[in-house]
Amino acid sequence: MDPLLFNRLARNRRSVFPDQFDAGKPVDDVIINEILINACQAPNHGRTEPWQFTVFSGEGLTMLAEFQSNLYKDLAGENFKEATYAKLKQQPLKASHIIAIGMKRSSLKNIPEIEDIEAVACAVQNIYLSVTAYGLGGYWTTGGITYKEEAKSFFGLDEADKLLGFFYIGQVAVPSVGGSRSPLEQKVNWIK
């Protein structure tokens, strides 16, 4: 492996949002499968592999859009916003694929829940890097119905499990501008 290539990959990873996708240009399922294989190589305590991915494409995107917009409408009560409802119904249709990110709680009692969540986050980082390597766009959203208990069963998640968001993937029509980070010295302490 060439560390310089990895450095370039990691440093050029960007979030690309649905409005930046070429909505009429799908990503091949074979590529999505490779991305998911990479995701499943993430580190995880006790080899629990706590991730569960549900992939939506084609008509599945419409099913997801209908489910999440209607669940939002049912749960919002007096906080209902037509713009939020419309966004939940329309945004999925702009993606080629959406991966629902689930965390299946480990049955090993010695593994704290946070470690299962962290393992899933590592898997999502592998998705981000893979999407970038394939020249695709994507982003992880935790909005909408993500933390609603009532959403879990739709994604095959049990009471102890968690829905941790959705990863949108599409062909890039409008690239994201490079992001900036604060200096490394502000976040790292060396003790020698």
Q: Helices 29-39 and 113-133 meet at what angle, rounded to 10?
A: 140
Alpha carbons 171 and 2: distance in angstroms, whole number: 26
CA distance between the termini of the chain: 29
Alpha carbons 148 and 23: distance in angstroms, whole number: 28
Q: How far is CA 90 from the centre of its chain?
A: 18
Alpha carbons 70 and 107: distance in angstroms, whole number: 32
b/e per residue, 96-110, with b = 16+ CB within 10 A? Answer: bbbbbbbbbbbeeee
Question: For residue 119, what pLDDT band results from cuts at 50, 70 and 90?
Answer: very high
Q: What residues does each domain of the chain span?
A: 21-174
Weakest mean pLDDT among 84-88, 113-117, 127-131, 175-179: 175-179
Read off the DSSP letter of residue 189: -
Q: Is 35 helix (H, G, I), strand (E, B) or coil?
A: helix
**Does the 21-174 domain belong in CATH 3.40.109.10?**
yes
Nearest to residue 70, comparing CAs of 54, 55, 57, 88?
88
pLDDT tens-place string over residues 7-20: 999 999 999 999 99
pLDDT tens-place string over residues 60-97: 999 999 999 999 999 999 999 999 999 999 999 999 99
Alpha carbons 47 and 100: distance in angstroms, whole number: 21
Alpha carbons 161 and 155: distance in angstroms, whole number: 10
Alpha carbons 96 and 135: distance in angstroms, whole number: 14
